[in-house]
Structures are given as structure tokens and as C-alpha cells.
Structure 1
């Protein structure tokens, strides 16, 4: 094999990624995330093949491979949980419905909000954006005009503060003494 087939598919994937992802999503009737996963799986499958030099319509071939990869994944996911297991999940009691549990959850949330309010604004924003919203550190660094390393340090400092303050609250001490 000359390797030209895989190189051609790789170039196509890079150059037309969004269009390919949208095409796979339409064919599957699924989300863009599922289509993206399917494209990645298709590339992994194709990278191990040595007969790609003869592919005449690389875009169609890549999309079809991605669709088949997604279908295979869906079939394997269906086999993970039986219908009986799903019905058992519906029979589980809802722990959140317990009034005592709801009060306890509210208290814990209030404590956490108090601790977060003690953080400097940048640390608080970085921690929440990173942990709650899943924003990548590189994006946070760009947004705040600081280095990725500094983003990591600020998040780590925020974590340390929160852990100590929550520990102090649980022990009955003042949360503010470690600010």
C-alpha cells in the first residue's frame, strides 16, 4: 500500500470535518456529538486498513463507515441494560423527595455558596467555569488574558480554600479564617 488512501481520507476529514459531522448527524438523526464520536471511530477503524488506495468516493466511504460505527455502538449500548433492569430503576425511591433530605441539600448548597462568595472574583469565576461549565483551561486563559499555568494555580487555590472553609464549617469554626 502506498498510504495515499489513508492520507486522502485524513485530509478530507480535516478539511471538511464540520460538513462530514453534519452529514453523519443527519443520516443518524442524532446529535453532533454522536456524529463526531462516530467520525473519530471511523478514522480509527480505517487507519488499520491497507486497502484504502482503491476507494473511489472517499467522502461517501468515510460517512458510511462513521454511520456503521455509530450503529455498532448503539447496538452494544442497548445490550448493556436489559428491560428488566430499566424497570427496576423506575422502582427506586426518589431520595430527593424526602423533605429532610431536601433541607439538608439546601443547607449544603447555602454553605457552598457562602464559601464561594469568599473567593476573589477571578478565582470564583475560574473555578465555576472550569468545574461547573466544563470550560477548558486554555479557553479560560484566553478569556482572562492570563497563562494556562496561572489558570491552574488559581483553580487549585480556590479548591484549597473551599476545602478548608467547608471543613471549618463542619467543625463549627468560622469559614472566613482561611480566606
Structure 2
């Protein structure tokens, strides 16, 4: 080997390999990971641009190996995440059985029918409140009506929709209220 700083670092890594593995094992948590990090460090030293003598070769090599270990850990985490996603995609969706899908579609159609049975203003107020998430005072401003009238129309629209859904044979326990900001 020539006496270049890079070749000296590689020689020190080879000579002090067991010591460096033990030191790096404290950081990585396993002898295998420490060894892998040092092997990768050896390969990186091959292309490293070390122009001057290194004062503390052990610290330089351990610092470089520590960075390699961090990079390896990040790659492993990313791959574990991808594996987890693949595993989750293989889990069958028990909620998406044909009966539930058909029932949900019927509910949607019944709700559409209920909305068609509302006056245009009531329908618009209900949609503004429940779909657009507007506050009652914002709805009042939009339609140029009083806050009390918005509350009355909204209440009547909700009662109408609930009654239509119940007539269809569907009950919505606990669905009278929802997240509303007044």
C-alpha cells in the first residue's frame, strides 16, 4: 500500500478492526450492524478524498462508520415501512363485503330522495351547514336571512331527512347530532 492518508486509514481500519467493531457496537446495538457499517466504511474510504494526514484515525474512522450506520438504519426503517404497507394491503377488508356496499348505496339513494323532497332554500341551508361546514351566522349572511330562520330551516331539514330515512326502515342511532360549530 502507498503511504497516502486514505491507504493509511484503510490499514488502521484493518489492523484495529476488532476494537472498532466493539466501539461501534455500542452505537448500533449489535455486532453484525457494527461489522456491516465498518465494511461499508472500508468501501467509502476507497473513494474518499482525504488530502491531509488525519490526527486521530480511530475517531475519523468511527465518525465515518457512525454516519454509515445512521444511513443504514434509515434505509432499514424505510424498507420496514414499505413492508408494513405491503402487509396491510394484503389484509382483507371485512367491511367491504357486498351486502354492506349495497346497503350503503341504498342509504345514499334514500338520502338523495330525502334531499329532493326539501324546498330549495332548506336543501341549500342543509348542504351549506353539513357539507360545506359553514356556521349558522355565515349561512344567515349568505342567504340574507336571520340566524333564527337558519336554525329553524336547518332543524326542519334535518327532521325531514331523518323521517325519510326511518320510513325507509333505516335508523341512525346517535346521528341526530354531528360536529357543528355554532
- TM category (shorter chain) comes to 0.3 to 0.5
Instruction: Output the TM-score relative to the length of structure 1.
Output: 0.44
Instruction: Output the TM-score relative to the length of structure 2.
Output: 0.43
| Bigger proportion of residues as helix | 1
